[in-house]
Structures are given as structure tokens and as C-alpha cells.
């Protein structure tokens, strides 16, 4: 009888765990101020309906209706998502029907089947998603100040003052046109470009998407990062000074550099369960530095990895021009069945390798393993070990603009620069009697 009781308790606990893992309440919120108050309204609160649709419910064919919050322009509802595990990416968007039937159209968002979708990572506990404006279009007006420090881009030649143009585009007009930023040559930092302008706005606390766009002699360039988001405050929202692509001076290459990538394909199996055939399947590389070419059709042989002899190690060397980011985000791909259908099959969405160029001219990256998405730390991991008599071997993850300092007395607060260690990753340093201390610094 005692054993039977234990079995029952264990069964109940098991049933509870399964139930908790199989249904996660998620609260969706959307503001329709722009659609309701626009000069040509597209939503009537008395007669129209807004719903959320996604891959979690009826495969996008129908949706969950949202309920108006009091007499506001905000609509919300909570739905128990089942069939997805915590950590899964859930895609969704809002849809209205009545006077007009409208899907959200979201440039710069996740694209599935040609459509831009919102997305979030599912938690294991109830989630309340941040309120958004339908189609990222807002009602009301605020004055917005946008500022960008272009010093890094100017130093490496990516931006030419007087010739090139920088603009900001955002959800206030569907990213369809831009507002030009200008600089003040007489200011303390003439490389800061800014612009103040009025935009339609949600209530304070609303979120808006935007990013910067560069016109120059080279092809037009969008920031390669995901959309920026700003927290709106009334009556004026002054955004902090940003860097284009969030890259500071030490995050950019000051010389053309050849970077060699290598990957071990031994027993490689794709995220889509495809088993690599080393005798027939080519291997490709893709990444932010290649513009993330379309997975289904590699544009040319320069993206194909070369097999190293009879091994299952594949390599490729890519030129990173002056002005490129030292951060490398990339992924490998199997061209299944020997064809050119190189799918995004190493791992899931945005599960990439991240490594850093730590020396210019020629940089050979450590060997990657297919399917193991290693993300290097930016810098650090200082390690000191005894070497020959009177010397210590010091290693670290180097970075442009990063160097060692040495001190023999921490109480004095005095440190001596070791400029020869700039952008290096090791040194064999002579030490005398007593204690010697080292630290990494970045100006």
C-alpha cells in the first residue's frame, strides 16, 4: 500500500510537469491609434475586429480576436500556446478586418514565405509581450532628435563628409522614405550628425522601430543590424548618440585583411537531419560580411569551401576590406545531394558562429566544428603561466585597440603600457624578483 501511494504521487507529479510544459499563456497587445485617428481611418472600433495570427494557431489561416481595453485604442488577449517548447521562436502578426482587411507589413522583420513577421522566444512561464503599434504606425505627434557619431566610419573611409549622406528611416512612415542628418563643422565633434523632426507617436512608453541608411559613391547601405527600437517620451524624445551599425573605432578594420575560415565536417548532420556525404556534397559559407546571400542559390564559387586533401576539413579565405567589422557572424551549409541547393541547415535561425579578427593583413581563425555554434568573447580571458626562467607566457583574446599594462605595486596605482601588445594575443614577458601584475586595457 505504501508503494502504491508513492507510485500515485509520482504519477501526479509527472502529469503536472507535462501540463506545465505543454501550455504557456502569452498575452498579445497592439495599439490601433493610427488606424483609428488617421485622416483616412482603416479601423472602426464599433464594427471592426483585430486578431493575432501566427504559426502557433491554425497555421495562420485564422486568428485569436483581441479585446479593446476600456475606451482606449489598445487591444489585448491572452492565449495558451501549446505544441512549442520553451526557447522556440514563435512568429506572429496582427490582422484587421471590417472597413478594410489589413495584414501588418513589416520591412526589416523576420521573413517567412516572403512576408515580414514579428517573433518572440517562448518562455516556460506566462509571458506578457510588450505593446506594439499596428504596422508600427503611430497616432499623435512628438518631436524626435536623432544623433549619430560617424567618427569610426569617416576614419576608415566608409563615409566621406561633404559627399555622402546619412538618413534615418523608421516605422513612422513604414521605412518608405528617409530624413537626412547633418553636422555642425564648428561643434566640438563635427563628426556627429543629427536631425530633429516631428513624427506621429503612440502614448508615452510606446516602442518605435528605426535604423540608419547611408548614401555614397558605393551602393546604398542599410545598417546590417536588426531594427533599432526607441522608447517614446512626450513631448520630446532625444535619442542617445549612436554609432552606425553600433561599431566604434576599435570595432573596424583599418587595413584590408584576408581571413581564413575552416570547418571540420566529420560525421556532420544538418539541422534538417540531412547527413553530409563528403564524396558528393559541397560545403558553403555564409555570413554578415557576405550580405547573407540567399541560401537556396549561392551566387558564385567564392562562397564554396575547399576540401583540405583527403581530410574532412574544409577551408575558404575571404577578403575583408578596410572598414569592415572585426566581428564575424557566419554559418556553414551543406549543398545537399551535390547540387546548389545550399540550405540554411547547420543550425536554427540566428544560431551562428561568432569570431573576431584579432590581427590585420592575414588572420587564420581557429577550426570550427559543423553544428557547434561557438561564440567567442569579444576580448579578455587573460591567462599567465610560467615559461622559461625569468619569463612568463601571457595569452588572451586580443582585440584591436586592446593592450597589456604591467605593474609591480598595486598600492601605487601606477601601470606601464606595453604598446607592442596592441591587437596581439600573447607575449613572453621578462619578470624579476617580487610580484608582477598584468591587466588588459582599452582606451
Nearest-Å Rg of the Cα atoms of the chain is 27
CA dihedral 185, 186, 189, 195 (to 10 degrees): -60
CA dihedral 107, 111, 113, 114 (to 10 degrees): 30
* Options 3.40.50.800, 2.60.40.1180, 3.40.50.10950, 2.60.40.10; CATH of 141-247: 2.60.40.10
Let me know: does 330 contact 357? Beta carbons within 8 Å. no
Q: Phi and psi (nearest 5°) for 171?
A: -70, -15
Using alpha carbons, list the distances in angstroms from residue 212 to 37, 84, 165, 181.
28, 35, 11, 10
pTM for this predicted structure: 0.56
Whose CA is closest to 333, among 354, 314, 318?
Answer: 314
CA 95, CA 62: separation in Å to the nearest integer? 10
Contacts of 301 (CB under 8 A, 6+ apart): none
Given the C-alpha cell 514565405, which residue does it identify? 113
Which string of b and e fits 96-122 if b means at least 16 CB within 10 Å?
Answer: beeeeebbbebebbbeeeeebbbbbeb
> Would you give per-residue pLDDT tens digits along the chain (443 residues)?
334 333 333 333 333 333 344 689 999 999 898 888 777 888 999 999 999 999 899 989 999 999 999 988 899 999 999 888 888 889 999 999 987 788 988 766 666 555 678 989 898 899 999 888 888 776 667 788 999 999 999 999 999 999 999 999 988 777 888 899 999 999 999 999 999 998 866 544 556 789 999 987 566 788 888 788 876 655 677 888 999 998 888 889 999 999 999 999 999 998 888 999 998 899 999 998 888 888 877 767 888 999 999 899 999 999 999 999 999 999 999 988 766 667 778 998 889 999 999 888 999 999 999 999 998 877 667 788 776 677 888 888 777 667 888 888 888 778 888 877 876 788 888 887 777 888 887 65
Fold of 2-135: Immunoglobulin-like (2.60.40)
Q: Which three cell numbers stand for residue 215?
A: 548614401
Superfamily of domain 257-369: Immunoglobulins (2.60.40.10)
CA 368, CA 392: separation in Å to the nearest integer? 29
Amino acid at each position: 500500500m505504501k508503494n502504491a501511494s508513492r507510485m500515485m504521487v509520482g504519477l501526479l507529479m509527472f502529469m503536472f510537469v507535462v501540463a506545465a510544459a505543454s501550455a504557456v499563456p502569452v498575452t498579445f497587445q497592439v495599439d490601433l491609434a493610427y488606424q483609428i485617428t488617421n485622416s483616412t481611418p482603416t479601423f472602426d472600433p464599433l464594427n471592426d475586429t483585430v486578431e493575432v495570427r501566427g504559426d502557433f494557431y491554425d497555421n495562420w489561416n485564422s486568428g485569436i480576436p483581441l479585446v479593446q481595453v476600456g475606451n482606449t485604442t489598445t487591444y489585448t488577449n491572452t492565449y495558451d500556446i501549446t505544441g512549442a517548447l520553451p526557447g522556440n521562436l514563435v512568429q506572429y502578426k496582427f490582422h484587421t478586418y471590417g472597413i478594410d482587411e489589413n495584414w501588418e507589413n513589416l520591412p526589416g522583420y523576420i521573413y517567412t514565405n516572403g512576408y515580414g513577421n514579428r517573433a518572440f522566444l517562448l518562455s516556460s512561464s506566462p509571458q506578457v509581450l510588450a505593446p506594439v503599434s499596428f504596422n508600427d504606425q503611430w497616432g499623435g505627434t512628438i518631436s524626435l532628435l536623432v544623433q549619430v557619431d560617424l567618427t569610426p566610419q569617416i576614419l576608415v573611409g566608409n563615409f566621406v563628409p561633404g559627399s555622402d549622406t546619412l538618413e534615418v528611416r523608421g516605422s513612422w512612415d513604414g521605412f518608405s522614405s528617409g530624413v537626412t542628418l547633418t553636422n555642425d563643422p564648428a561643434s566640438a565633434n563635427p563628426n556627429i550628425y543629427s536631425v530633429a523632426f516631428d513624427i506621429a507617436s503612440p502614448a508615452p512608453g510606446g516602442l518605435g522601430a528605426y535604423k540608419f541608411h547611408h548614401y555614397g559613391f558605393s551602393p546604398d547601405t542599410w545598417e546590417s543590424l536588426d531594427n533599432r527600437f526607441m522608447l517614446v517620451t512626450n513631448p520630446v524624445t532625444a535619442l542617445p548618440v549612436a554609432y552606425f551599425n553600433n561599431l566604434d573605432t576599435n570595432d573596424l578594420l583599418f587595413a584590408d585583411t584576408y581571413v581564413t575560415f575552416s570547418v571540420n565536417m566529420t560525421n556532420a548532420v544538418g539541422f534538417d537531419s540531412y547527413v553530409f556525404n563528403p564524396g558528393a556534397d559541397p560545403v558553403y559559407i555564409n555570413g554578415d560580411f557576405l550580405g547573407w546571400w540567399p541560401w537556396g542559390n549561392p551566387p558564385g564559387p567564392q562562397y564554396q569551401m575547399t576540401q583540405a586533401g583527403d581530410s574532412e576539413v574544409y577551408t575558404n579565405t575571404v577578403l575583408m576590406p578596410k572598414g569592415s567589422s572585426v566581428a564575424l557572424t557566419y554559418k556553414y551549409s551543406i549543398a545537399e545531394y551535390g547540387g546548389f541547393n545550399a540550405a540554411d541547415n547547420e543550425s536554427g535561425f540566428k544560431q551562428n558562429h561568432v569570431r573576431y579578427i584579432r590581427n590585420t593583413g592575414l588572420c587564420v581563425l581557429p577550426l570550427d566544428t559543423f553544428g557547434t555554434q561557438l561564440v567567442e568573447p569579444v576580448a579578455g580571458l587573460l591567462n599567465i603561466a610560467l615559461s622559461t626562467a625569468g619569463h612568463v607566457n601571457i595569452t588572451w583574446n586580443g582585440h584591436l585597440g586592446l593592450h597589456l599594462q604591467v605593474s609591480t605595486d598595486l598600492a601605487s596605482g601606477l601601470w606601464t603600457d606595453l604598446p607592442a601588445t596592441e591587437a596581439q594575443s600573447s607575449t613572453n614577458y621578462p619578470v624579476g624578483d617580487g610580484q608582477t601584475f598584468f591587466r588588459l586595457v582599452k582606451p
